[in-house]
């Protein structure tokens, strides 16, 4: 089974840059999207063979997630927890026979960490949610998690320490999540590989490969034995992020 996750930074724009050709050629069983920035009725496109599930933000043109899946899930739920987490379209949970899939677009802490308090609440509440799911069946958790966990995960760690995405607080929350029974699939399989999944549109960052690894597939520890491959598809364009992939043994 092949899964792909991609922050498309506006699905309508990404479609105009080749998204459908990529999706068709990918052979993915499940495609998870973040930052769709749209309502489902705002675009009509042909992607045969996939069931489509959308979670759009209350605010139009902002945030949003989607899951396109060949196998119809047993159930699909949107958002989680308290009302504060239920207005930005950031979570879709799809239940399959042998795992839960959670597609996530984590809130950005913003410049000068203006939203760090909410981000910390989000991290704690979401970790609790994932752990509750994990009691029932294993979890595949993917998306733009808006944190580079270790120094190897961004080009310039020293000048970026303390900034959104590389603050000590955010990194500690990722450490806590991994300590709660989850594995970072890419880093587990490729402990020393330097590869990034996001580049600023400024300063020719992608051309210089001055990027960050902030897009992930995490899995419950007991699911790691089924992980065949985890990759960062940095040759794919169409967004300021590139897709990441996970291949599970059937």
Helix (H) or strand (E) holding 244: strand 244-248
Long-range contacts at 17-24 (CB < 8 A, ≥ 24 apart): 17/237, 17/238, 17/239, 18/237, 18/238, 19/238, 20/45, 20/46, 20/47, 22/236, 22/238, 22/243, 23/47, 23/68
Indicate if the alpha-carbon torsion angle 50, 105, 20, 249 is positive or negative. negative
Q: Around Cβ 209, how many Cβ atoms within 10 Å? A: 12
Q: Is 96 helix (H, G, I), strand (E, B) or coil?
A: strand
Q: 């009302």: which residue's tokens?
A: 83
105 is catalytic: yes
Active-site residue, from 105, 129, 141, 196? 105
Active-site residue, from 144, 184, 215, 240? 144
78 is catalytic: no
Q: Around Cβ 244, how many Cβ atoms within 10 Å? A: 29
β-bridge partners, 229:
247
What are the residue numbers of the active site?
A: 105, 144
């Amino acid at each position: 089974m092949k899964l792909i996750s991609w922050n498309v930074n506006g699905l309508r724009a990404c479609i105009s840059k080749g998204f459908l050709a990529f999706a068709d050629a990918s052979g993915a069983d499940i495609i998870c999207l973040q930052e769709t920035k749209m309502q489902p009725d705002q675009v009509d496109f042909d992607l045969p063979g996939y069931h489509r599930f959308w979670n759009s933000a209350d605010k139009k043109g902002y945030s949003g997630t989607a899951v396109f899946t060949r196998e119809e899930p047993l159930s699909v739920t949107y958002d989680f927890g308290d009302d504060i987490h239920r207005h930005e379209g950031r979570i879709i949970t799809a239940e399959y026979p042998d795992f839960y899939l959670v597609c996530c677009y984590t809130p950005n802490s913003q410049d000068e960490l203006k939203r760090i308090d909410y981000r910390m609440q989000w991290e704690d509440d979401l970790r609790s949610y994932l752990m509750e799911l994990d009691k029932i069946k294993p979890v595949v958790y993917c998306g733009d998690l808006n944190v580079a966990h270790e120094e190897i995960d961004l080009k310039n760690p020293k000048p970026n320490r303390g900034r959104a995405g590389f603050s000590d607080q955010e990194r500690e929350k990722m450490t806590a999540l991994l300590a709660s029974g989850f594995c970072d699939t890419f880093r587990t399989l490729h402990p020393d590989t330097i590869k990034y999944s996001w580049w600023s549109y400024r300063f020719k960052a992608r051309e210089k490969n001055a990027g960050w690894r902030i897009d992930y597939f995490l899995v419950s520890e007991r699911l790691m034995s089924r992980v065949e491959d985890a990759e960062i598809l940095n040759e794919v364009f169409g967004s300021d992020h590139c897709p990441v992939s996970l291949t599970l043994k059937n």
